[in-house]
Structure 1
Amino acid sequence: MKNENWDDLKLFLHVAREGGLTGASEKTGASPATIGRRLLALERQMGRNFFIRRQTGYSLTKDGQALLTHVLAMNEAARSIGAWNEGVNELPTVRISAGSWMSHFMAVNLAQLWTPDDPFRLCFKTAEIRLDLAHREAEIGIRNSFPESSNLAARPIGDVAYAPYCASHFNMVRDCNWVGIGADDAVAPSARWLLAQTDLWVTIWANNPRMLHDLLRSGAGRGVLPCFVGDTDPSLVRAGEEIKPLYHRQWLVMHDDDRRRPEIRTLVERLAQLIEKQQPLFRGQRPRG
């Protein structure tokens, strides 16, 4: 048989269980005529007779009994899949708020943060603006400052250094232009720092960090990146010394009422261990070359 139709097989199951078209019609809502027509089509398609049809009802032939065994197994598998899917939908979801760079870092290291066997799901909320954790727009936030709200808890997770970077093929002797985030989109301190440097010649603006990264890789100019981003990109090299005013402490922030929830506690611990283990990279102590 080619392209078995599960809907027709389910009709077969109802007729076999109810012993006729009328009972199957009551169970499915399909008319007896429709069910009878589809069963005939199923028999023609498979080249077998499944029912002995009498005025008193339908009884199974030998082939019908064999098919019933298979369909019952399929039905049980379908029920199991449905129960599994419902279970997934019931799992708690942990929303993580972070900027583009930390979101990229978490994506690259996802296997150390979450596995399909974990009893929770993840939702990454990537944005340069801060979501309101106090009003539960996310469960966990990665922030560059200690929270001011009294109902938020915070855990320090080390420091972050910044430096200028450019493509390895960029001519740093001949070209002095820079690439930055435009004033309308300059939310991060690193973006605002470059805007404040009036002696630097910015020739290209981007509206988000990922585009800035792509422009630097293409050789568009120099630009400011966190060291944990720039020092792990083989297409980039440092174009100057670390920018000391941008060096800052990083924090894991969560609502004080939620921090003891098992899924949040687990994820906070994994994030802290992952980032603390990579502190030399975050602090700019692993420059390429």
Structure 2
Amino acid sequence: MQGGFAMMENLNWDDVRLLLLVARTRSLSAAAVQLGVSPSTVGRRIALLERALGVTLFMRHASGYRLTEDGASLLEDARRVEDAMVQLQGRAADAGSTPRGHVRLATNEALANLLILPRWAALAPRYPDLVLELVTGAAIQDLYRRDADLALRLVRPEAGGLTVRKLGVQAYAVYAAKGLLPQSRKPGKAGLAKLPWIGWDASLQHLVQARWQREHFLEARIALTANSLFTQLHAAEQGLGLAVLPCYITDPHPQLTRCLSPGQCVSQDIWLVIQQGLRDAPRVRVIADMVAAVVSDNRKALEGLPP
């Protein structure tokens, strides 16, 4: 296809956004939810856009709507238009003497509740016009799809168009309730394998701590599975089994003791990820600087080192 969007003089931002949403969600219904219209309206607008461009943009498959070759050739142009719009909107939001507007930060529940929220509570009065939106959960928010403005992640993203910076390390150790262990001495790995364990449910077996546990204690009996880190923590406190837990979360709980140290377990790098078009926006910079300071100030706890 020659000329791309330049061949369509009346193309507007709504057309570009429509193409991006359907391409990313592969669903008329999902795109409709984000646009606040009906799926049939999305379908009609796609048909009109295809007629105006003179190409077929999408093909319907069992897995959803997929871009055709012509549609894929337009996608990068659409992303560049989107980047420009995001920067323009950001500059408008950042106009004035103080940062204002919304900043959407994606991270996991533990980092949000234990580290970020206390710091933001102290910082927020300085920025009365700035709203922090925290998106938490086990699922990784896709910054390339504009699910968030920035993220604090334990997995380095592979997609382009992002500014990525390593902030620190999150260490894990194996913990158990003191009453679950022999009174005389802490058992070695062979002894730990004979004790009950707490694991992740089937949907979260990709997590680094779940993989480590399978690799080192595959034959150990699983007494309980959970899809929440805090549920695992409380289950370990109840003596239901051993658990692989982050040190900064678990060390303050006196009922639990380390069975294997961080050096014997697994760790993950902590990454700050920002949409490239937003990295210099004052409102995003406030949150990014806060997040970096939080990780730096809690470095020893995150790495499982003595205070």
Q: 2:222 aligns with which of 179, 193, 202?
A: 202
What amino acid sits opposite 1:138 in the alignment? A
Q: CA deviation at 1:189?
A: 0.9
> Which residue, 114, 134, 138 being the options, matches 1:128?
138
**Structure 1 residue corresponding to 2:209, chosen from 161, 169, 190:** 190
SS in 1 for 2:278: coil
Q: How does 1:205-220 map to 2 (within 5 A)?
A: 205-220=225-240
Q: How far apart are residue 147 of structure 1 and its match?
A: 2.2
CA deviation profile, 1:159-184 (whole Å, cap 9, x unmatched): 12110112244334697111111222
> Which whole-Å CA distance do the structure 2 matches of 1:235 and 1:178 have between them?
16
What does residue 159 of structure 1 align with? 169
Equivalence for 1:100: 109
Paired residue secondary structure (2:134): strand
- Which one of the candidate residues 242, 247, 268 is aligned to 2:288? 268
* Counterpart residue identity of residue 259, structure 1: R
DSSP 3-state at the match of 1:116: helix
Q: Provide, for residues 75-123 of structure 1, a one-character-per-residue CA deviation record: whole Å limited to 9, x for no partner.
A: xxxxxxxxxxxxxxx9512111112322232355334663233131111
Q: Distance in 1 between matches of 2:115 and 2:304?
A: 18
> What's the secondary structure of 1:121's corresponding residue?
strand
Which of 165-174 and 227-236 deviates more? Answer: 165-174
Q: 2:116, 2:291 within 8 Å by CA — same for their partners in 1?
A: no
Query: Are the counterparts in 1 of residues 171 and 302 from structure 2 also a CA contact under 8 Å?
Result: yes
Q: Tell me what 1:64 maps to.
A: none
TM superposition shift of 1:129:
1.5
Identity value in percent: 24
TM-score normalised to the size of structure 2?
0.59
134-143 or 186-195, which deviates more: 186-195
Task: Measure the CA separation in 2 of the matches of 1:145 and 1:245.
Answer: 17
Aligned residue runs from structure 1 range 161-176, under 5 A: 161-172=171-182, 176=195
CA RMSD of aligned residues (A): 2.4
Larger deviation: 101-110 or 130-139? 101-110
Distance in 2 between residues matched to 1:233 and 1:108, nearest whole Å: 20
Distance between the aligned counterparts of 1:254 and 1:228, measured in 2? 24
Over 3 Å counting, the alpha-carbon distance change for 1:104 and 1:248 in structure 2 is same
Give distance in 2, aligned partners of 1:232 and 1:215. 16
Compared CA separation, residues 111 and 172, structure 1 to 2 (3 A): farther
**CA separation of 1:212/1:172 partners in 2, compared to 1, >3 Å: closer, same or farther?**
farther
- List gaps (5 residues or longer) in structure 2: 1-98, 184-190
In structure 2, do the counterparts of structure 1 residues 227 and 200 end up closer, same or farther at CA, with 3 Å as the change threshold?
Answer: same
Residue ranges of structure 1 left out of the alignment (5+ in a row): 1-89
